[in-house]
């Protein structure tokens, strides 16, 4: 069979060059070693991000957020939304500075999600060289990632941070921690942190599986078409000092350089610098040595920067600007704030929280009781996959502040246990309150059914207890028949909540024996510390007992 390339007939069939064994002197093998190393390092950090490990190895908390903190898109987008730069995100310079020298190297040397895509893409690479070459040609659909980047940054300029939806590090961390690890955790709890259940894990897992499956029909689909981080690095890579250079005299047009091109950057013609992933496969595959990695090469035979029509950039910016008001009116603004959205202790005020949270769900991974869950639309479209507390799943441990110590962007501030409990130097501010418990007298056993129950009062961890009991109102109490023949009749006690002492930990709701659509005692965000400056200062003073239907 004779193959044709650039209208030039070849004397021998086109095939992938033969490689003699594993040789670490080849730069592509060095790249593979680096990819495996960083992928394993990433997975190790995800697995180690548990309360037990952070409690036993305090220095570990300095490293578990490393991949998120070196992410330039996280750093730049949060700086745009908050007009400040969180100090931990200065580590993104570790990636930004080499990008100005080497181009988009992060995507194919470090990024763990990119490594997985390359592996899946290699398994599905066509055996026919002509089909492989066609699949690795540049396509106009690669403009999409630049449109998405523009839209996300435009929305960020108005304070709506949504990069976590598509940023590869955030997306991969969220997928691994909420969709992948719960399965092995059921059989190996000592290694993976115990059994966990997360709402929406099926959808989160289905999204990442769909993105990986796209490699079967479109190689490196996410990296070439969707990834906003890749688009950012591609834009910055136009200033790279070292770039791929093609010698047109030595090149015989065989197209072998396109067989394994990971970025579809057209190395056989005018190299598209913004699309080049610096995989260096083309240099290794070229039989004539027509390709090299050169310093300050001539731009005569290159496409410098993102080759995208200006109108598409404008469309992306308009989409981001329009997204902001539609998202805000979906329920995430202060005016429409839902009291059912309870944020972790140390979380900043809601709008500030939404301008910092990148939906990485690292706080959800470290939570020891599984109470933190990825939100659906409880907090509106902006709050999708951000952390909220579900007291059906667990409760907020009194002496746990792990979520704030692993948050890479300051959406949840790192507080001490003393600061959370309002002890020592924090005594003047009082304890951190994430909500207030309320009693539904229509469902509470002592209130509505004359059945003795003081579970909520017994488990309340505050001192003095925020839940207390008193004889049934309207008399001295209703006698309760003893369960045992030799037991004496006792006076019925009913529980009430002292809102001035309640911190909203939710253990009362978790342990309440009344099951069904709603517990007899439940917690809402009413009275949360982070929003007290917006509330009536007298609103939550004194002892109250609110109930559904009781006014």
Q: Tens of pLDDT along the chain (551 residues)?
A: 334 344 343 434 444 444 545 566 688 889 999 999 999 999 999 999 988 888 888 788 888 899 999 999 999 999 999 888 777 778 899 999 999 999 999 999 999 999 999 999 888 788 888 888 888 899 999 999 999 999 999 999 998 999 999 999 999 999 999 999 988 888 777 777 677 899 999 999 999 999 999 999 899 999 999 999 999 999 998 888 888 888 888 888 888 888 889 999 888 888 888 999 999 998 888 888 888 888 888 777 788 878 888 899 999 999 999 998 888 876 554 444 567 799 999 999 988 999 999 999 999 999 999 999 999 888 888 899 999 999 999 999 999 999 999 999 999 999 999 999 999 888 888 899 999 999 999 999 999 888 899 999 999 999 899 999 988 754 445 555 544 455 555 678 899 999 999 999 999 999 999 988 789 999 999 889 987 644 433 333 333 333 333 33
**What's the sign of the alpha-carbon dihedral 431, 434, 435, 437?**
negative
| pLDDT for the residue 178 | 93
The CATH code for residues 337-431 is: 3.30.70.20
How far apart, in Å, are the Cα atoms of 239 and each of 25, 143, 242, 245? Answer: 28, 19, 9, 15
Give 37's contacts (C-beta < 8 A, 6+ positions apart). none
Question: How far is CA 46 from each of CA 106, 338, 377, 406, 486, rounded to the nearest angstrom?
Answer: 20, 31, 26, 11, 56
Residue ranges in 223-309 assigned as alpha helix (H): 228-236, 281-285
pLDDT of residue 337: 56
Question: Cα separation of 289 and 302, whole Å?
Answer: 18
**Alpha carbon distance 105, 263 (integer Å):** 11
pLDDT given at position 499: 93
Q: Which two tokens stand for residue 86?
A: 């969180």
From the list 324, 303, 306, 381, the residue with the least C-alpha distance to 144 is: 306
Residue 268 has a pLDDT of 86
> Is the CB of residue 438 less than 8 Å from the CB of residue 453?
no
Distance CA 183, CA 85 (A): 37
pLDDT of 535 reads: 40
Is the alpha carbon torsion for 290, 292, 297, 300 positive or negative?
positive
Q: How much is the pLDDT for 416?
A: 92
Model pTM? Answer: 0.86
- CA dist., res. 242 & res. 281, Å (int): 16
Dist. CA 387–CA 199, nearest whole Å: 11
Say whether 376 sits in a helix, a strand or coil: coil
What architecture is domain 433-551?
Answer: 2-Layer Sandwich (3.30)
Question: What confidence score (pLDDT) does residue 42 get?
Answer: 96
Q: Say how many Å lie between the first and final Cα of the chain, rounded.
A: 85
String of b and e for 158-192 (b: at least 16 CB within 10 Å)?
Answer: bbbbbbbbbbbbbbbbbbbbbbbbbeebeeeeeeb
Assign residue 63 a region (left: φ > 0; alpha: ψ between -120 and 50; beta: otherwise).
alpha
Tokens (6 digits) for 159: 């304070």
What pLDDT does residue 307 have?
80
The boundaries of every CATH 3.30.70.20 domain in the chain are: 337-431
């Amino acid at each position: 069979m004779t193959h044709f390339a650039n209208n030039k007939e070849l004397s021998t069939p086109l095939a992938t060059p033969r490689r003699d064994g594993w040789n670490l002197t080849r730069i592509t093998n060095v790249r593979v070693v680096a990819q495996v190393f960083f992928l394993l390092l990433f997975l190790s950090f995800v697995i180690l991000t548990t309360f037990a490990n952070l409690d036993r190895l305090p220095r570990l908390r300095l490293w578990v957020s490393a991949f998120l903190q070196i992410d330039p898109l996280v750093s730049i987008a949060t700086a745009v939304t908050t007009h400040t730069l969180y100090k931990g995100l200065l580590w993104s310079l570790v990636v930004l500075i080499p990008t100005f020298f080497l181009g988009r190297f992060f995507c194919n040397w470090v990024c763990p999600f990119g490594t997985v895509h390359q592996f899946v893409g290699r398994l599905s690479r066509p055996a026919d060289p002509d089909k492989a070459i066609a699949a690795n040609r540049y396509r106009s659909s690669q403009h999409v990632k630049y449109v998405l980047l523009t839209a996300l940054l435009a929305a960020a300029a108005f304070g709506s941070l949504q990069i976590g939806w598509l940023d590869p590090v955030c997306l991969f961390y969220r997928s691994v921690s909420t969709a992948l690890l719960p399965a092995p955790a059921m059989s190996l709890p000592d290694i993976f942190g115990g059994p966990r259940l997360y709402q929406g894990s099926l959808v989160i897992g289905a999204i990442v599986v769909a993105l990986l499956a796209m490699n079967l029909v479109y190689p490196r689909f996410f990296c070439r078409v969707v990834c906003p981080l890749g688009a950012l690095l591609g834009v910055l890579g136009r200033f790279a000092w070292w770039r791929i250079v093609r010698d047109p005299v030595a090149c015989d047009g065989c197209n072998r350089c396109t067989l394994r091109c990971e970025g579809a950057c057209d190395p056989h013609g005018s190299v598209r610098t913004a699309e080049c992933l610096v995989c260096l496969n083309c240099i290794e595959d070229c039989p004539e040595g027509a390709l090299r990695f050169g310093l300050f090469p001539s731009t005569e035979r290159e496409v410098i920067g993102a080759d995208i029509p200006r109108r598409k950039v404008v469309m992306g910016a308009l989409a981001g600007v329009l997204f902001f008001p539609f998202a805000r009116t979906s329920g995430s603004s202060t005016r429409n704030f839902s009291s059912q959205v309870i944020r972790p202790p140390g979380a900043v005020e809601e709008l500030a929280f939404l301008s910092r949270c990148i939906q990485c769900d690292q706080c959800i991974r470290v939570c020891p009781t599984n109470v933190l869950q990825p939100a659906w639309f409880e907090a509106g479209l902006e709050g999708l996959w951000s952390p909220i507390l579900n007291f059906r799943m667990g409760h907020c441990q009194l002496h746990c502040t792990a979520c704030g110590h692993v948050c890479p962007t300051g959406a949840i501030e790192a507080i001490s246990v003393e600061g959370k409990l309002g002890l020592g130097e924090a005594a003047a501010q009082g304890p951190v309150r994430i909500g207030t418990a309320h009693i539904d007298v229509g469902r509470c056993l002592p209130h509505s059914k004359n059945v003795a129950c003081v579970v909520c009062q017994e488990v309340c961890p505050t001192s003095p207890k925020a839940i207390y009991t008193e004889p049934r109102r309207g008399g001295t109490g209703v006698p309760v028949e003893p369960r045992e023949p030799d037991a004496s009749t006792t006076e019925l006690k009913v529980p009430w909540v002292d809102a001035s002492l309640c911190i909203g930990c939710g253990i009362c709701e978790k342990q309440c024996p009344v099951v069904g659509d709603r517990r007899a005692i439940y917690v809402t965000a009413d009275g949360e510390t982070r929003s007290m400056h917006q509330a009536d200062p007298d609103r939550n003073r004194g002892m109250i007992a609110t109930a559904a239907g009781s006014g």
